[in-house]
Copies of this chain bind each other. A is one copy, B any other.
Amino acid sequence: MALPSLLSHSRTRSSVLREPLRQGGLRALLAPWDPPSVHPHDRAAERACTPPSTGSSPPPLDWTRLGSRTISSGAGMSLTQYGLTNHTLTSQRRSYWTLCPQHSSFGPPAEIATKEAQHSVDDSFGVQQRTFGSAAEPIQRNPDYSVLNSDDVSYFKSILGDNGVVQDKDRVAVANVDWMGKYKGASQLLLLPKSTNEVSKVLAYCDSRRLAVVPQGGNTGLVGGSVPVHDEVIVNLGGMDKIISFDNVNGILTCEAGCVLENLSTFVENEGFIMPLDLGAKGSCQIGGNISTNAGGLRFIRYGSLHGNVLGLEVVLANGTVLDMLTTLRKDNTGYDLKHLFVGSEGSLGIVTKVSILTPAKLPSTNVAFLSCNDYMSCQKLLLAARRSLGEILSAFEFMDRQCIDLAMTHLEGVHNPLPVSPYKFYVLIETTGSDESYDKAKLEAFLLRSMEDGLVADGVIAQDISQASNFWRIRECSIEATQGCGGATSTYS
């Protein structure tokens, strides 16, 4: 099936989101929904959300807060991000601003709501804006798609059995909403296939009936790619969770797409290997979804992209065709390497059903340090220094800001601030993994000492045991969870 017809058959949120930015931006594909209640913590932020008077024409929307945060640093850098909705148009507009570090002085805080003011700020601060969503274009349901009927449900039951076809309102409601509670679809049906054959039959049938489909894994994504826009049939791969084989000589794991990442980690660690990616959502996210979204994760700096680690895929196309690219060769240059098209395409070209992936050897020595920095530039310089001095043992370098720590302390249970008296604005978690404990620890300590002498690190602590290391990691891994406590928000520095 040629690419264009694939797109026309499986036009989910993800496939529309795949329109290149240069063609006018991504369109928000949000169905009508109710905004979350305002968290008391965030009342001050709510007021900051009202577009300030800048002398330019106010935006055409009646802005209502979804979630926001304003950050001002002593270095004169300010960043505001907010999610907005206009209920009358039942769509969302979200923008974010990033401040480029090449300017030594960032000028006054910039809270901009109109394009004209935006550009003048852009010129002086080197601000890069990316706009997502259009409040002017509500996303209409495509009338070419059919509406589910009882015959369809009967057919699915004949393929998947009664347990594989879920119409229970509560269960379907959960599958209709993303993890952050921002996006809500209106699907009436959740399907739970248990084999590639079942996925193939389901998709072939949907193709023949022109029923829209949204593939779903752990539903832990933060950008609305795993839930319906309208009434698409949800095909959840959670029932396909078998490990098929493990080559414990080369560290090549072959498994079904519905395997939860944490379960795979536990399995391969027992064999002396580790998964090449790690996420805060590992307890729920599935490897098929990780691959379909080209997840990066906490080990990205060490083990790189999934494009480099995935060796093979089995994928079911929109018309039910099973594409078997499930090789376990470390490098196979025969033919076109089509599997890469499915890495990061969010299920819009096909549903990943099986995976073969390279797993690195588990190394015996792990060290974790939690550091604070005076300013953002020091964090960048610290990264460069870490790459050179720690080099081959550097396995994670995670950046957090003051608000992130505060949110974690406020909303996460059982975490402790590693640097309780630290007045600093920026924090870095560094992890090293290597083959010799004494060498690695000495290397890390020497690096931290030099960094403090050079003024890159203001304060810091190295974990003395697993419990401390886990605490450090929890602050970072659960940061998204912590933001939920204030209604949800993110910020970006570059």
Contacts and interface: CB of A to CB of B under 8 A. Distances in A.
Nearest to A343: B337
B344 A341 contact: no
Interface stretch (A165-173, A187-195, A301-309): A301-309
A57 interface: no
A388 B20 CA distance: 43
B387 A361 contact: yes
A55 interface: no
A310 to B, nearest CB: 9
A2 interface: yes
A349 B336 CA distance: 10
A18 B338 CA distance: 12
Given A3-B2, A331-B300, A391 B340 contact: no
For the complex, would chain A's binding face be called helix, strand, loop or mixed by DSSP majority? loop
Contacts of A4: 2
A331 B295 CA distance: 9
Given A308-B304, A340-B341, A443-B435, A335 B18 contact: yes
A349 B2 CA distance: 15
Interface string A319-356: 00000000000010111111011011100010000000
A363 interface: yes
Given A333-B294, A334-B20, A392 B2 contact: no
Contacts of A384: 249
Interface in A404-452: 433-436, 439, 443
Given A18-B336, A293-B333, A435 B272 contact: no
A293, A331, A345: which has the most chain B beta carbons within 10 Å? Answer: A331
A38 interface: no
Given A293-B333, A309-B308, A337-B294, A391 B361 contact: yes
**Interface residue tally on A, bucketed by range:** 35 or more
Contacts of A349: 336
Contacts of A227: none
Nearest to A308: B308
Contacts of A2: 2-4
Q: From A308, A387, A392, A434, name the one whose CB has the most chain B CB atoms within 10 angstroms.
A: A392
A443 B433 CA distance: 15
A128 to B, nearest CB: 12
Nearest to A324: B22
A361 B2 CA distance: 41
B363 A392 contact: yes
A435 B349 CA distance: 43
A249 B305 contact: no
B334 A21 contact: yes
B341 A392 contact: no
A86 interface: no
A8 interface: no
A325 to B, nearest CB: 10
Central interface residue in A21, A294, A387, by most chain B CB within 10 Å: A387
Contact of A435 (B345, B363, B391): B391
A145 to B, nearest CB: 22
B333 A337 contact: no
A296 B20 CA distance: 31
Contacts of A331: 294, 296, 300, 305
Contact of A307 (B307, B334, B335): B307
Contacts of A335: 18-21
A291 to B, nearest CB: 12
Nearest to A363: B391
A281 to B, nearest CB: 16
B391 A434 contact: yes
Contact of A308 (B18, B307, B338, B434): B307
Given A363-B392, A388-B435, A341 B334 contact: no
Contacts of A434: 391-392
A361 to B, nearest CB: 5
A390 interface: yes
Contact of A344 (B337, B393, B433): B337
Given A2-B4, A4-B2, A392 B435 contact: yes
7 contacts: A20-B335, A21-B334, A21-B335, A249-B380, A249-B384, A340-B343, A392-B435
Given A294-B331, A304-B308, A391-B434, 17 more contacts: A2-B2, A2-B4, A18-B335, A18-B336, A19-B335, A20-B334, A296-B331, A300-B331, A307-B340, A337-B345, A340-B340, A340-B341, A361-B387, A361-B391, A391-B435, A392-B392, A436-B439
